[in-house]
Amino acid sequence: MAPTLRARAGSTGPRPTSVVTDIQSQIVAPLKRSLSDMDDEVPARGQDMKTLREDATSSITLAWKDAQAQLNASFEEVGRRINRMPRIAVSSIDPASPRIIAFNGAENTTQFSVWLRRLEDVWRMHSTTESEKQKAYFLIGHLDGVAREKVKELPEDNITEESAALFANKILSLVRAATAGQDPLVQNERALEEFISRLRADVRYYVKLDNANTFEAAVAKAQTVEQLLAEATAERLINPASVAPDIAVNTVNPRMNSSLQNYNE
């Protein structure tokens, strides 16, 4: 009976030369035995041909099992390496998910409570976090028309300070999630609009003055302005005496001039 070959447990690389040689010897052993038993001077008999055929079949089977074992071992190693990779949780909208039509506040649209319930269902289907800010941005990204304009009228008392780069990444992620499946150019235009409109007033002024026409250019300008304003603030705190003093402007009272003129006369 032909020996059975098994894959080496835990094998992660090429097999040693001694192991390969041993397996090759096991594969060709049946053929070598059959050929050595046959006499070159004697015509082959039916029994000899049958034995040779069986031994050849056994050798081919051994070779196939060895190749299959090596393939299985390589698949297992790939699986182990994939399992060792760090997993990153992302919050995104699957293009195949149900699409939500933007709410514009018109009278002929769906009731807001019904629309909002549907939006929350989609959020829960794909979100890995429950951040209130992310929920708010996700909601704002699905508003349009009058409803979108009303958001701008809300007070900004709870706005926290964060860098322009971090804020830009949040805006871009939310816009891409809200406009999944749309043209990337449309997504960048929407991100540019949302980014500029939500910047701090002093930073927004200089960004709009630069008239940036791409999202990347607006972010770069905002970072530059942010850095310059921070440096100016730090300079005033460190060297308060360097601040230019107020210039006093003295004016002459016209009544005094007329009195002096009358006195001289």
192-251 confidence digits (pLDDT tens): 888 888 888 888 888 888 888 899 999 999 989 888 888 877 776 555 555 555 555 555
Instruction: Using alpha carbons, select from 60, 56, 50, 10 the residue that is nearest to residue 30.
Output: 56
Most confident range (mean pLDDT) of 95-99, 125-129, 179-183, 254-258 is: 179-183
Question: Quick one: 164 exposed, middle or buried, by C-beta within 10 A (0-12, 13-18, 19+)?
Answer: buried
C-beta of residue 175 within 8 angstroms of C-beta of residue 191: yes
C-beta of residue 79 within 8 angstroms of C-beta of residue 71: no
The conformation of residue 241, written as its DSSP 8-state character, comes to G
pLDDT above 60: residue 4: no
Query: What is the reported pTM?
Result: 0.34
pLDDT digits over 30-43, tens only?
Answer: 766 766 666 666 66
pLDDT above 60: residue 164: yes
